[in-house]
């Protein structure tokens, strides 16, 4: 069992307490999250953000529960929140009674006063839009009335609410409080309790909850929640009782079964068993590996449109992206031995290939996929290659031959002949990609007509991936008794052209993009893939030079900078309004997923020696600390500031960050310690 435990020394102030977040997911696109002290700090937080059409159409329906305890004439509020009142920030500091916070895949709060204490456990039921809150209530020498005030909502998870937008029809049946949103009368939010008495509240809106992370992004950061009832529970003196709360969303005509006092606890136990099975299946006897195995489970989710598994690119806002999925694929599914999920993911994206392009993303509004990517299709080859490497069974080989191999042929043909977004092979065998306003590599920021990182031409990582795709096709043809000569000949041409055109002798590294007579000599991390991918392009001395330069200029512990800091366009801090963040996103911001390619390359040029492995472990220490000390507890953020202290930014939990660190650690480091 992986457990992250914190005590009062970890939240000496309110502002310190909201810096660490937690998140849990339900396997169908829904999630829950808040801060370590229980105060929300961003729009995408709440006890149940439900996916109405897995894994998209995500709506906040259940924000949180505020609690009070009344003993005699004394009432203590455990509410922890930040509000804006008359233009000033007001803190409600219930965290002063919080003595322990634990995250282990679910979350556990412990509060204590002189006369009363309680434990509050929060989790999501797997494969269902159900939040379970389990309470263990302990009264001292006097009777206690424990009062819960649930806060509800009904909004898209990236938006905010006002009293005008939060209108419901409400009614109570069999210890269940129902809310039917005016916006959607086909569904109902259902708040069930195992015991207690509902009573109407005079104040039915929690107005101007202030979300500090949104304020930091230069928005007003205000939200509103609907809280029409209190739930009161009697706790006799010197007793402990268990209370189960379930909140769900479903068809307005559905009536769920009554909730027992132990039901929420049973959901907690079932989730703990599932996590234990993950560790057993993965088979690692290493705490860091198992931390990442637990983190990886957050991103695997069911897609209703294909009836198969896919990958959420990042929490809290991304859905399934082709590029991110294929990069994260090995770590999330193969290092964890989840081969069935791996097959379903490969099939999900194969189903949507168009003109030889794997989809870039599935939008959150149920619209058709977007295809503006050159690298998702090439990373798909790598994912297939890794799948067969990890799972060499005859059934796996037959699966690839029958259901995947024809799609690989289609992709190669489309890239050779030319396809959408100015993707085509030039006479030298190298792949050209993009023109005009196209942004189709992973460095893809575009704001209107402003292209932040124009990489039109022949990007270095695209051609490293192209070479590997050709070599993978060569090996698959040999495996399947087909003629491999065309792929072999093309690969040899690509290798010769790559070495002739990409080596930057002045900087002893690789150009980032080759286009005509003016190669782009920005020092960027993309070149590391020419070293790290399975099929080598460069002589060993050049590989060593690339790794040395990347380590010197770009490595910052939790990621690689996207641009060397001495460049005039370098931005060391990712913060502020969207335009400011977009200017920094690929111009100095460090990316967690790039650690995978970097450490694979580092271990390769050091011949996977035990001393190199030991040094790599030391270099990964900032990631270990990040799992516990900043961002989302137990996960790895999308990005980090390029400047010290390299604060985490962007998505607080990112699939390819977790997947690639897990992959390189388990493939390239752990076996050599």
Query: Tell me, what's the pLDDT at 597?
Result: 98
Residue 339 falls inside a structural domain: no
In a domain? residue 96: yes
| Residue 247's CATH number | 2.70.98
**Tens-place pLDDT, residues 55-113:** 999 999 999 999 999 999 999 999 999 999 999 999 999 999 999 999 999 999 999 99
Tally of residues, the chain: 673
pTM of the model: 0.96
Q: How confident is the model at residue 454 (pLDDT cuts 50, 70, 90)?
A: confident
Query: Number of structural domains, the chain?
Result: 2
Instruction: Give pLDDT tens digits for 37-57.
Output: 999 999 999 999 999 999 999
Reply yes or no on whether the pLDDT at 451 is more than 90: no
User: Locate tokens 């993965």: which residue?
Assistant: 282
Q: Which of 249, 274, 299 is the last residue of a domain?
A: 274
Tell me the mean pLDDT in the region 538-553.
Answer: 98
Element housing 604 (H / E):
helix 594-605
Residue 143 confidence (pLDDT): 96
Helix axes 322-329, 655-664, angle to 10 degrees: 20
Strand partners, 244: 134
Give residue 202's pLDDT band: very low, low, confident or very high (50, 70, 90): very high
Residue 215: both structure tokens together:
């304020």
Above pLDDT 90, what percent of the chain? 93
Q: Are 130 and 142 in contact (CB under 8 A)?
A: no
Domain that holds residue 140: 4-274
Neighbours of 126 (CB within 10 A): 15
Residue 631 lies in a domain: yes
**Other CB atoms within 10 A of residue 354 CB:** 14
Q: How much is the pLDDT for 268?
A: 98
Q: Is the pLDDT of residue 450 over 90?
A: no
If DSSP codes are grouped into helix, strand and coil, which group holds residue 19? coil
SS (H, E, C) 247-285: EEEEECCCCCCCCCCCHHHHHHHHHHHHHHHHHHHHCCC
Is the link from the previous residue into 316 a cis peptide, with omega within 30 of 0?
yes
Residue 139 in domain: yes
The arithmetic mean of pLDDT across residues 439-455, rounded, is: 88
Q: Say how far apart CA 291 and CA 298 lie, in whole Å.
A: 12
Per-residue pLDDT, averaged over 343-370, amounts to 89
Q: How far apart are CA 537 and CA 65, in angstroms?
A: 57
Q: Quick check: 446 pLDDT over 80? A: yes
Q: Which band of pLDDT confidence, cut at 50, 70 and 90, is reported for residue 362?
A: confident
The answer, yes or no, to whether residue 20 has pLDDT greater than 70, is yes
What percent of the chain has a predicted confidence (pLDDT) above 70?
Answer: 99
Sign of CA dihedral 523, 630, 90, 233: positive
Average pLDDT, the chain: 96
Q: Which of these, 121, 158, 153, 159, lies nearest to 137 by C-alpha position?
A: 121
Q: Is 412 left (phi over 0), alpha (psi -120 to 50) or beta?
A: alpha
Predicted confidence at residue 363, as pLDDT, reads: 67
Do the Cβ atoms of 391 and 423 come closer than 8 Å? no
Which residue intervals of 480-566 are DSSP H helices?
485-502, 529-532, 540-553
The count of other CB atoms within 10 Å of the CB of residue 420 is 15
Q: Is the dihedral of CA 157, 158, 163, 167 positive or negative?
A: negative
The answer as to whether 601 is a domain residue is: yes
Is residue 626 within 8 A of residue 292, CB to CB? The reply is no
The pLDDT value recorded for residue 579 is 82
Instruction: Count CB-CB contacts under 10 A for residue 244.
Output: 23
Structure confidence at residue 283 as a pLDDT band (50, 70, 90):
very high
Looking at residues 309-338, what average pLDDT do you find?
96
DSSP 3-state of 118: strand
Helix (H), strand (E) at residue 523? none
Poorest-confidence range of 76-90, 194-208, 449-463?
A: 449-463
Per-residue pLDDT, averaged over 5-28, amounts to 96
**365 pLDDT band (50/70/90 cuts)?**
low
pLDDT at residue 37 in the model: 98
Q: How far apart are CA 546 and CA 406, in angstroms?
A: 35
Q: How far apart are CA 250 and CA 573, in angstroms?
A: 43
What are 618-646's pLDDT values in tens digits?
999 999 999 999 899 999 999 999 999 99
Q: Which SS3 state, helix, strand or coil, does residue 386 take?
A: helix
Write down the H helix ranges in 297-362.
322-329, 339-351
Q: State yes or no: pLDDT of 416 exceeds 70.
A: yes
Q: What is the Cα–Cα distance from 663 to 465, expressed in whole angstroms?
A: 18
Would you state the pLDDT for residue 445? 85
Residue where the block lists tokens 């035990």: 610
- For the residues 405-414, what does the mean pLDDT come to? 98
Domain stop point among 274, 300, 322: 274
Pick from 195, 314, 225: nearest CA to 40: 225
Mean pLDDT of 570-585: 87
Last residue of a domain, one of 240, 274, 308: 274
Radius of gyration over alpha carbons of the chain, in Å? 26
pLDDT of the residue at 582: 84
Does residue 352 sit within a domain? no
Q: pLDDT, tens digit, for every residue of 429-438?
A: 999 999 988 8
C-alpha 640/C-alpha 649 separation (Å) is: 5
Alpha helices (runs of H) in 118-262, residue ranges in sequence order: 212-216
* Residue 225 maps to a domain: yes
Neighbours of 202 (CB within 10 A): 5
Residues paired with 76 in a beta bridge: 69
Q: Is residue 161 part of a domain?
A: yes
How many angstroms separate the CA atoms of 39 and 17, rounded? Answer: 9
């Amino acid at each position: 069992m992986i457990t992250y435990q914190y005590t009062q020394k970890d939240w000496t102030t309110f502002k310190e307490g909201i810096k660490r977040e937690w998140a849990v997911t339900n396997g169908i696109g829904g999630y829950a999250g808040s801060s370590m002290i229980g105060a929300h700090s961003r729009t995408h937080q709440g006890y149940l953000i439900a996916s109405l059409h897995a894994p998209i159409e995500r709506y906040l329906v259940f924000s949180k529960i505020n609690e009070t305890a009344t003993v005699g004439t004394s009432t203590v509020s455990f509410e922890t929140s930040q509000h804006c009142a008359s233009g000033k920030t007001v803190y409600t500091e219930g965290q002063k009674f919080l003595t322990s916070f634990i995250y282990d895949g679910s979350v556990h709060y412990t509060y204590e006063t002189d006369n009363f204490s309680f434990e509050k456990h929060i989790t999501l039921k797997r494969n269902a839009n159900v939040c379970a809150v389990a309470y263990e209530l302990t009264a001292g020498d006097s009777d206690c009335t424990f009062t819960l005030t649930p806060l509800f909502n009904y909004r898209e998870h990236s938006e905010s609410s006002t009293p005008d937008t939060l209108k419901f029809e409400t009614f109570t049946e069999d210890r269940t409080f129902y809310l039917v949103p005016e916006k959607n009368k086909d569904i109902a939010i259902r708040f069930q309790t195992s015991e207690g008495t509902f009573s109407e509240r005079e104040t039915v809106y929690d107005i101007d909850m202030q979300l500090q992370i949104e304020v930091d992004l230069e928005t007003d950061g205000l939200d509103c929640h609907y809280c029409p009832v209190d739930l009161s529970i009697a706790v006799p003196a010197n007793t402990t009782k268990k209370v189960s709360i379930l909140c769900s969303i479903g068809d307005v005509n559905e009536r769920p079964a009554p909730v027992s006092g132990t039901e929420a606890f049973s959901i907690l136990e079932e989730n703990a068993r599932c996590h234990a099975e993950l560790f057993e299946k993965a088979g690692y006897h290493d705490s860091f590996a198992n931390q990442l195995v637990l983190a990886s489970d957050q991103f695997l989710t069911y897609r209703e449109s294909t009836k198969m598994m896919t990958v959420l690119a990042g929490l809290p806002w991304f859905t399934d992206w082709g590029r991110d999925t294929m990069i994260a694929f090995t770590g999330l599914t193969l290092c964890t031995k989840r081969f069935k999920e791996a097959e379903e993911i490969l099939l999900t994206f194969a189903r949507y290939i168009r003109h030889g392009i794997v989809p870039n993303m599935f939008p959150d509004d149920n619209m058709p996929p977007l295809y503006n990517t050159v690298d998702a299709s090439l990373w798909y080859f790598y994912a297939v290659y890794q799948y067969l490497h990890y799972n060499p069974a005859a059934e796996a080989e037959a699966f690839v031959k029958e259901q995947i191999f024809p799609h690989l042929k289609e992709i190669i043909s489309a890239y050779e002949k030319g396809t959408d977004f100015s993707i085509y092979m030039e006479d030298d065998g190298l792949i050209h990609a993009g023109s005009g306003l196209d942004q189709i590599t992973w460095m893809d920021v575009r704001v209107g007509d402003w292209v932040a990182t124009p990489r039109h031409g022949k990007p270095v990582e695209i051609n490293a991936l192209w070479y590997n795709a050709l070599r993978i096709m060569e090996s698959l043809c040999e495996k399947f008794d087909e003629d491999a000569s065309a792929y072999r000949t093309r690969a040899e041409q690509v290798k010769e052209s790559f070495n002739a055109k990409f080596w930057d002798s002045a900087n002893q590294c690789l150009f980032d993009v080759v286009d005509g007579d003016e190669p782009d000599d920005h020092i960027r991390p993309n070149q590391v893939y020419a070293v790290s991918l399975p099929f080598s392009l460069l002589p060993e001395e050049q590989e060593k030079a690339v790794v040395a330069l990347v380590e010197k200029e770009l490595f910052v512990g939790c990621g690689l900078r996207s641009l060397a800091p001495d460049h005039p366009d370098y931005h060391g801090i990712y913060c502020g309004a969207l335009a400011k963040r977009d200017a920094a996103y690929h111009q100095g911001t460090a990316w967690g997923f790039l650690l995978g390619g970097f450490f694979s390359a580092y271990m390769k040029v050091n011949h996977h020696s035990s001393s190199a492995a030991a040094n790599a472990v030391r270099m990964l220490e900032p990631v270990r600390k990040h799992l516990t000390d900043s961002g989302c507890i137990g996960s790895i953020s999308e990005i980090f500031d390029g400047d010290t202290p390299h604060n985490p930014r962007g998505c607080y939990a990112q699939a390819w960050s977790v997947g690639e660190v897990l992959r390189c650690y388990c493939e390239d480091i752990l076996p050599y310690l």
